[in-house]
A and B are shown apart, each in its own frame.
Chain A
Amino acid sequence: MIRLEKRPQPSRLFSLATPLLAVLATMFFGGLLFAALGKEPLTSIQTIFWEPLFGEFSFFYRPQLLIKGAPLILIAIGLSLGFKAGIWNIGAEGQYIMGALFGAGVGLAFYPLEGFYIFPLMVLAGAFGGWIWAMIPALLKVKFGTNEILVSLMLVYVAEQFLASMSLGLLKNPEGFGFPGSRNLQQYESAFNGDLIAGSGMHWGVVCAMIAVIFAYVLLTRHRLGFAIRVTGEAPRAARFSGVNPTRLVVFCLGISGLLAGLAGMFEVSGPAGQVTIDFNVGYGFTAIIVAFLGRLHPIGILLAGLLMALTYIGGDIAQSQLGLPAAAIQVFQGMLLFFLLALDMFTNYRLRFGRTEVA
């Protein structure tokens, strides 16, 4: 007879090993899935995980990992702070859109003027756009006790409508023959967030993501605020007794996650994407939730998880094109990763017992 028994202490070993085991389990069952589709399982797994990192064209894919991973990491770091304290910002996608719109809007307002100050202003505007969008659920929560999960999520759809309106109206490229979408910021030097070293994929968003990782690490381990976040998540009552102000914490956590999501959107629109278009957002704000949990809400973990997610996206596209795997199979593969992570996560707090149940 097999049964689950709660561990007296959460297992440190399992907490660290779970992500690795989840990746291995995903590889194994993903391989079975690919085999069932009539593809060579080892080649498929190799194409997804090996090809982008060490394959013939890794000189191109490695920088792409940074480009794809940076927004995920940046957003996930912000989300993780709130998640640790039990404050659930599900609307990072909307904050990402607003950051992009504010940032691009400021840049386009200056067009065609060139100046060193334009890009910094866009960064500030992008951060502000994300922050203010997150302040809506924050203030509604602290003033009226609304649920931040619902409000922040609903605001994603509002932001999407706003994005469509901007692409079709105010920010539409006047030289675009009536087609939707803004001017391409890649062709506007003062506003372009290009590679800092050509071909390296290192744009300001990547730099910012790395700073955010370090900042979050220091905050959580060395700062009083980090302590407040952790203790609120683990024991809200104890937190109140130790003098944590819950209102301020809600405003801070939602604010910082909105700000970072806004920055991510701004760096994306001014760099890799280049344009405000109706379909500008591709779900980074939602994928970042997965990244945050895959990284155990730990800054270093999130860094690795973001890169891993980016790898499955890039490798997945290569597998589609080289092996003819359908996109749906790749999505199932990515879904497995989260599933196994959550399933194996149980073993951090529980262990399996074999043998007869002792009746007391």
Chain B
Amino acid sequence: MKLTTLLTGAAMALGLATTAMAQDKTKVGFVYVGPIGDGGWTHEHDKGRLAVEAEFGDKVETVYVESVAEGPDSERVMTQMALDGADLIFTTSFGYMDPTINVAKKFPNVKFEHATGYKQAENVATYSARFYEGRAIQGHIAGSMTKSNIIGYIGSYPIPEVIRGINSAFIHARKVNPDVQFKIVWAYTWFDPAKEADAAKVLIEQGADVVLQHTDSTAPQAAAQEAGNVITFGQASDMAQYAPLPRVSSIIDDWAPYYIARTKAVMDGTWTSGNTWDGIGAGMVGIGEISDAVPANIKAEALALKASLADGSYHAFTGPLKKQDGSDFLAEGEVADDGTLAGMNFYVEGIEGDIPQ
């Protein structure tokens, strides 16, 4: 029992130390699931971290640990950051959810922000981006530009976020091209250049002339470039090094404004828990420059779609829509509510194949 007392004592002393320190320098920690050089997901979070440093200069100190496995390792890294006096910790992967909640219980004075999860607490807020809005624009361009009418899609894991993206892209591809088919390959990884390249090659061999990806590396872009006559879209990051072809546009996660705002809230003592789910309108989802490889009329349509998503006049999931099994999903003019979107585990009508179980 002595150890317990020691631990509680130390944690309390630390709690005091953190509040005292908050007056001079705010310390912000970031836990990353991949390497900062992945060119995708983690890279964008790290750009957000650098933006926080640039914004507040001497008033903040940021620390990060990259390639942290989900589970006990992440719990240890978060605890270590809290012990080292972090005031605010961003945990940037879905799998960090339970560890974040566990650590937050031990450090009530430290604020936590968990990306893409659904568990909140007094000192744990969640945030995510409406990537599916970007997928709608991708679907529009892909459906308009495909000649083989086969669009390949590299899925990471069959989870709601990814399924939402597939549905959104499919709905908007079908709108402009009723003959379009989706071929979906599950890579079961967020970041594995070798596997992603293989998946892209398989899709291209099956006749896909557009490859969409929900994985983070640039390997599918390279595979498409090699094959020629295949277009792709940057994922999470702009991947502009593959523009103008094969990369014709991209979905960019822009975490910087959110990270700056939340850091400022901690500095001002106005931070409160909550759930943020922002899209194109708030600037959390960016659409990368649409390259000249896209015909001007399609580009104009895509930009108009972007504008309507941004100002809220159009929702990416607007009825009439049916589910894959033919049952009703949304009535004419009805839009999907956030609860349905958050837990989406079905394909919309027209997509072939089953979601793996």
Contacts and interface: CB of A to CB of B under 8 A. Distances in A.
B81 interface: yes
Given A177-B118, A177-B160, A179-B118, 20 more contacts: A57-B10, A59-B6, A59-B7, A60-B10, A60-B80, A64-B76, A160-B188, A165-B356, A168-B157, A178-B159, A178-B160, A180-B159, A199-B7, A200-B3, A279-B95, A317-B68, A321-B63, A321-B84, A322-B84, A324-B63
Interface in A70-85: none
26 contacts: A57-B10, A57-B83, A59-B10, A60-B10, A60-B79, A164-B188, A165-B356, A165-B357, A177-B343, A178-B159, A179-B118, A179-B343, A198-B3, A198-B4, A199-B7, A268-B72, A272-B71, A272-B72, A277-B71, A278-B157, A282-B69, A282-B71, A317-B77, A321-B80, A324-B64, A326-B66
A320 interface: yes
B289 interface: no
A35 interface: no
B71 A178 contact: no
Given A165-B357, A321-B65, A322-B84, A179 B3 contact: no
Contact of A275 (B83, B84, B98, B343): B98
Contacts of A200: 3
B198 to A, nearest CB: 14
Interface string B95-129: 10010001000000000000000100000000000
Interface in B29-83: 29, 35-36, 63-73, 75-77, 79-81, 83
B345 interface: yes
Contacts of B94: 179
A18 B188 CA distance: 41
A320 B81 CA distance: 11
B118 A168 contact: no
A328 to B, nearest CB: 7
Contacts of B344: 178
A320 B65 contact: yes
A329 B273 CA distance: 36
A184 interface: yes
A178 B343 contact: yes
A197 interface: yes
A275 B101 CA distance: 14
Interface in A309-330: 313-314, 317-318, 320-322, 324, 326-328
A274 B95 CA distance: 12
Contacts of B71: 272-275, 277, 279-280, 282
Contact of A168 (B83, B98, B102, B357): B357
Interface string A168-209: 110000000111110010100000000001111000000000
B342 interface: yes
A20 B158 CA distance: 47
A169 B357 contact: yes
Interface in A253-291: 268, 272-275, 277-280, 282
Nearest to A163: B188
Contacts of B157: 164, 168, 180, 278
B80 A318 contact: yes
A179 B160 contact: yes
B38 to A, nearest CB: 11
Interface residues of A, number: 45
B128 to A, nearest CB: 12
A64 B3 CA distance: 14
Interface in A287-301: none
Contacts of B75: 272
A67 interface: yes
A327 B63 contact: no
A168 B158 contact: yes
A177 B69 contact: no
Contacts of B72: 67-68, 268, 272-273
Which one of B36, B77, B79, B80 has the highest number of Cβ atoms from chain A below 10 Å of its Cβ?
B80
A177 B65 contact: no
A328 B345 CA distance: 37
Interface string A58-100: 0111001001100000000000000000000000000000000
A183 B21 CA distance: 38
Interface in B199-235: none
A317 B65 contact: yes
B69 A322 contact: no
Contacts of B81: 321
A68 B140 CA distance: 48
A321 B64 contact: yes
Interface string B274-309: 000000000000000000000000000000000000
Given A59-B10, A60-B79, A179-B159, A321 B70 contact: no
A199 B4 contact: yes
B65 A279 contact: no
B356 A321 contact: no
User: Of residues A160, A272, A321, which shows the largest number of chain B Cβ atoms within 10 Å of its Cβ?
Assistant: A321
A184 B159 contact: no
A61 B1 CA distance: 18
Contacts of B35: 326-328
A324 B66 CA distance: 10
B61 to A, nearest CB: 11
B12 to A, nearest CB: 13
A161 to B, nearest CB: 8
B70 A277 contact: yes
Nearest to B161: A179
Contacts of A164: 157, 188
Contacts of A160: 188
A272 B36 CA distance: 26
B110 to A, nearest CB: 14
Contacts of B6: 59, 199
**Which of B3, B64, B357 has the largest number of chain A CB atoms within 10 A?**
B3
